Amino acid sequence: MTKPIYKRSAWIIPIEQVSPNVYRTGQDLSFDKMTGKVQLTEEEKAKYPFVVDPTASYRLSDRTKFDITVDSMGVPSVPRDYAMYNLVLLSGDIAKDKIQYDSATMKYIGYFYDKESEAARYNQIDDLRYEAETLIRDAKLDFRKKVALLLNYKMPDKEFFINLSVVSDDVLKRELVKAAREHPELLMSCFPERNPGVDKEMFVVELLHYNIISQKADGDIYSGSKYIGNSIEDVVKSLSKQDMQPDISKWNIQLAELKGSVPLGERMYAPSPARDNVHTLTPVERFEEYVGRMKAAILDEDVEAAMGYMTHARTSYRDVVKDHPEYKFDFSKYEKMISGLGIDAKKEALRKELSEKTLEELQAKIKHHMTAYKEEECKEFWEDKEKLIDYMVSKK
């Protein structure tokens, strides 16, 4: 145990008196039994081989060592050390380790130094950081944006805040990786596989971000003039109500439109000038509108939307070159990008499908004479399901 401010003199362990003849010692004994006036039962003697006397004065010096090991039955190796250790923790003045001490240095006057437990705890923290960082690095851009919106809401005291309207993709990723290192458990709670149901919270914060619903200064949330809750959690609870289903359907359409997966001229919920103006824009303006949304869809890895905007861009490009023959645009570059997204999506779908099959089913599929797979190419990993899946995906 170390106590920087008590290095020269012993520290008296404070014992809290809850009421007359009732003290907090960590031992479930009466005052008379703790002070020796009444004998302990055999069961109590086995449970408390060393009894803390609340009327006694227990002093500890800095660097005092404690053996708090217990056997398989929970019996401490050194009863006095075990009792004193728990009594010190009950005081609330000494942290159980340096990690706890560092988290609230103004609260504690010292901490117990335990090399093994600290190593285990730091390893646990490092593992959590690695897991959280891996999740965010593997996430697609659109999901990262949702995580950022949710962290903007969840992070205490605005320690984390990202303005998605101005942040670049690289800065977004960097800030989320930083959050994964500093708040791994909180970041992982933003992923449905770690926190089932969080997708509903993401849905609500997206609605707020795109101003589909609004939150007043007092916290109340409205859809137009309709009150729907006084917090994000409150709105999430209301999503399961039957009378909310029409609103949810409308919100999903609005989100798709505002995120760019529906061409401007075809939007149901866009303001009427936006729908009308797409036909009154100059050919170049109309073309660049579609190209911009195509690029956004590519960044979001939304193959279907990207292909749709590519089609609209090709159609509108004819009018552009009529007025501006010198106007050049490299369609092949973006076709390759979209095609690559499509291939990746198909391979991912195939991998998911194959992972649900047994090893025997995969082997039977490879043996089938109508497939492109060759059994002889798989001899070295015939009994390894993951490698068989990698092989089958690579053939597509």
Which phi and psi (to 5°) does residue 235 adopt? Answer: -65, -40
pTM recorded for the entire structure: 0.44
Tell whether 95 and 20 lie within a shared domain.
yes
- 319-336 pLDDT tens trace: 888 888 888 888 888 888
> How far is the C-alpha of 387 from the C-alpha of 363, rounded, in Å?
12
Tell whether 109 and 121 lie within a shared domain.
no
> How far is the C-alpha of 90 from the C-alpha of 84, rounded, in Å?
10
DSSP 5: G
DSSP 76: B
Identify the band that residue 270 occupies on the pLDDT scale cut at 50, 70 and 90: very low
Q: Does residue 237 form part of some domain?
A: no
Tell whether 39 and 119 lie within a shared domain.
no
Mean pLDDT lowest among 146-150, 193-197, 249-253, 279-283? 279-283
Q: Does residue 127 form part of some domain?
A: yes
Tell whether 29 and 101 lie within a shared domain.
yes
Which phi and psi (to 5°) does residue 310 adopt? Answer: -60, -45
Q: Which residues contact 262 (CB under 8 A, 6 or more apart)?
A: 256, 268, 305
Q: Does residue 232 form part of some domain?
A: no
Tell whether 42 and 11 lie within a shared domain.
yes
Q: Does residue 313 form part of some domain?
A: yes
pLDDT at residue 7 greater than cutoff 60: no
Identify the band that residue 158 occupies on the pLDDT scale cut at 50, 70 and 90: low
pLDDT at residue 186 greater than cutoff 60: yes
Q: What is the pLDDT of residue 157?
A: 58
| Rounded mean pLDDT, 228-240 | 88
Tell whether 342 and 387 lie within a shared domain.
no
| Rounded mean pLDDT, 107-121 | 77
Q: What is the pLDDT of residue 261?
A: 54
Q: Does residue 321 form part of some domain?
A: yes
pLDDT at residue 267 greater than cutoff 50: no
Tell whether 9 and 72 lie within a shared domain.
yes
Identify the band that residue 35 occupies on the pLDDT scale cut at 50, 70 and 90: very high
Tell whether 276 and 340 lie within a shared domain.
yes
Q: What is the pLDDT of residue 30?
A: 93
Tell whether 120 and 78 lie within a shared domain.
no
Q: What is the pLDDT of residue 189?
A: 92
pLDDT at residue 92 greater than cutoff 50: yes
Q: Does residue 226 form part of some domain?
A: no
pLDDT at residue 342 greater than cutoff 80: no
Angstrom CA distances, 182 to 133, 176, 177, 244, 308, stand at 10, 10, 9, 37, 40
Contact 303, 311 (CB under 8 A): no
Tell whether 103 and 27 lie within a shared domain.
yes
> How far is the C-alpha of 40 from the C-alpha of 19, rounded, in Å?
22
Average pLDDT taken over every residue of the chain: 82
Domain of residue 368 covers 357-396
Tell whether 332 and 292 lie within a shared domain.
yes
pLDDT at residue 268 greater than cutoff 70: no
Task: Output 281 or 174, whichever has higher pLDDT.
Answer: 174
pLDDT at residue 144 greater than cutoff 60: yes
- State the total domains in the chain: 4
Tell whether 270 and 318 lie within a shared domain.
yes
Alpha helices in 189-302 (DSSP H): 198-209, 232-238, 245-258, 272-280, 283-299
Q: Is 144 exposed, middle or buried (0-12, 13-18, 19+ CB in 10 A)?
A: buried
Q: Does residue 213 form part of some domain?
A: no
What is the CA angle 315-320-324, rounded to 5?
155
Task: Output 216 or 181, whichever has higher pLDDT.
Answer: 181
* CA quadruple 221, 223, 226, 229: dihedral sign: negative
Identify the band that residue 78 occupies on the pLDDT scale cut at 50, 70 and 90: very high
Q: Does residue 218 form part of some domain?
A: no
